[in-house]
Amino acid sequence: MDGPTDRAHRLRNIIGGSTGNLVEWYDWYVYSAFTLYFAPAFFPAGDRTAQLLSAAAVFAVGFLMRPVGAWAMGIYSDRRGRKAGLTLSVSLMCAGSLLIAVTPGYASIGTWAPAILVLARLMQGLSVGGEYGASATYLSEMAGRRHRGFYSSFQYVTLISGQLTALAVLLVLQASMSEAALESWGWRIPFGIGAILAIVVFYLRRRLTETQSFANAKAAGAPKSSGLALLRDHPKEALLVMALTAGGTLAFYAYTTYMQKFLVNTTGFDRETATAVTAAALFIYMLLQPAAGALSDRIGRKPIMIAFGISGVLLTVPIFTMLETVRSPLAAFALVLGALVIVTGYTSINAVVKAELFPAHIRALGVALPYALANTLFGGTAEYAALWFKDTGIERAFYWYVTGMIAVSLIVYLRMRDTRDHSKIVED
């Protein structure tokens, strides 16, 4: 059992790792939060949906690099350490944010503007692809067995905190600047902030302690991590990660990053109201993550994921349909929060579930690569799919698409073993 010093040591490292995760995801989500303002700067004049569609396509392109980042930095984290992987990922994120902040608009440099934007998002996609596996593995390994669900849930606490920080910056700028100024140059400010914060986190992450799981695997001379080893030795677990991720990641992006645009583009709220509604719901959603993670330590991971699957299948279509015509911000908040409560059953514990499936010598890669593939296919394309359905006049087909993918993952949850009781993380 841990003594007070050991618990304090764990907590310091978990907080340190989580803080870096917050900044990583702030940088990633700033793009989505400010899309409504910078889309006209990077793309030729057109109607709002067309510009948003172009920006969403670039958002999806960023996801294409996530499997590459997951593969390269998953191997790097397994061979060089979780700490090394976390430090490298934040360096790439810093470079991507800085590039977006200083790139001139389409009116100044023509097609070079969207081309550079794509390059920056590719760099950030590479970063986030490595970040997820390294941070999920680090937090799961650093936590003790009894509280692994609780502590690993802080990956999504900080992920959501990053999104909330991006929205908070947006609210401050909306309150202090005119819309014309925001669309002209104000949208560059949050990307500059992200680049500066990433530099700070680089130095914080260099002071983290390496996990005992990695140290033990290295001392034991465990086999080297590689994509071939993953496919050869752990194909069932890799496919399981992809399948359990598909519905959860699609629901997460539909309920979070796309929701702000949905409230403007479909429901008809102004941008400030949509931002406030989204931020308020996300704040409560953030607080739910540790509670659900702690509950999984008591009753198991499987019941929590099944609850998400059943409620997601039953309620996704009704929630989006009601949001189409809602006029009260309070009613919109209640509906958005309801959707986020549903997806908590996935987000709060998905990291620890994946980490518990793999041995230490290949854990970062095993968590990162299958997740990134599923995330690219379903999470990264969520906004584009939603806007495409809307642009073609069958917006409600997107609601059924989300429901169908949640149903696929639900089948997986019902059939898989509970990783809490069959964990391959052996260190306490």
CATH number for position 225: 1.20.1250.20
pLDDT value of position 43: 74
User: Could you give the count of Cα atoms lying within 13 Å of 36 in the half-sphere of its Cβ?
Assistant: 20
In a domain, 26, yes or no: yes
Backbone angles phi, psi at 236, to 5 degrees: -65, -45
In a domain, 384, yes or no: yes
Mean pLDDT of the chain: 87
- pLDDT of residue 1 exceeding 50: no
In this structure, which amino acid lies at residue 261? K
By mean pLDDT, which of 14-23, 246-255, 271-280, 358-367 is the weakest? 14-23
What is the arithmetic mean of pLDDT over 261-287?
90
pLDDT tier, 5 (very low <50, low <70, confident <90, very high otherwise)? very low
pLDDT tier, 200 (very low <50, low <70, confident <90, very high otherwise)? confident
pLDDT value of position 46: 61
Take residue 128 and report the two structure tokens written for it.
């986030």
Rounded Cα gap, residues 263 and 241, in angstroms? 32
Report the share of the chain in percent with pLDDT over 70. Answer: 95
Take residue 421 and report the two structure tokens written for it.
């009781």
In a domain, 423, yes or no: no
In a domain, 422, yes or no: no
Contact 127, 90 (CB under 8 A): yes
pLDDT value of position 152: 87
CB atoms within 10 A of CB 287: 11
Contact 96, 127 (CB under 8 A): yes
Averaging pLDDT over each range in 55-69, 90-104, 217-231, 392-406, which range is the top one?
392-406
Question: pLDDT tens-digit profile of 304-340?
Answer: 999 999 999 999 999 999 999 999 999 999 999 999 9
CB-neighbour burial class of residue 234 (10 A; exposed 0-12, middle 13-18, buried 19+): buried
What is the arithmetic mean of pLDDT over 195-215?
84
Rounded Cα gap, residues 357 and 408, in angstroms? 20
Contact 259, 279 (CB under 8 A): no
In a domain, 426, yes or no: no
Rounded Cα gap, residues 324 and 213, in angstroms? 49
- pLDDT of residue 346 exceeding 90: yes
Nearest to 136 by CA among 94, 225, 73: 73
Containing structural domain, residue 178 = 4-415
Rounded Cα gap, residues 255 and 265, in angstroms? 15
pLDDT value of position 50: 65
Rounded Cα gap, residues 348 and 356, in angstroms? 14
Take residue 328 and report the two structure tokens written for it.
């009260």
Contact 361, 82 (CB under 8 A): no
Rounded Cα gap, residues 125 and 372, in angstroms? 10
pTM score, whole prediction:
0.84
pLDDT value of position 344: 97
Report the length, in residues, of the chain.
428
Report the share of the chain in percent with pLDDT over 90. Answer: 42
- pLDDT of residue 16 exceeding 90: no
- pLDDT of residue 3 exceeding 70: no
Nearest to 69 by CA among 57, 86, 94, 55: 86
In a domain, 425, yes or no: no
CB-neighbour burial class of residue 283 (10 A; exposed 0-12, middle 13-18, buried 19+): middle
CB atoms within 10 A of CB 423: 17
pLDDT value of position 2: 54
Nearest to 250 by CA among 346, 176, 325, 389: 346
Distances (CA, A) of 39 to 62, 134, 183, 263: 16, 32, 9, 17
Rounded Cα gap, residues 59 and 42, in angstroms? 13
In a domain, 49, yes or no: yes
Question: pLDDT tens-digit profile of 352-386?
Answer: 999 999 999 999 999 999 998 998 889 878 988 99
Compare 54 and 416 and report the one with higher pLDDT: 416
In a domain, 31, yes or no: yes
Number of domains in the chain: 1
Question: pLDDT tens-digit profile of 132-190?
Answer: 888 888 888 888 778 899 988 988 898 889 888 887 888 899 889 988 888 888 889 99
Take residue 213 and report the two structure tokens written for it.
């799981």
By mean pLDDT, which of 53-67, 197-211, 322-336 is the weakest? 53-67
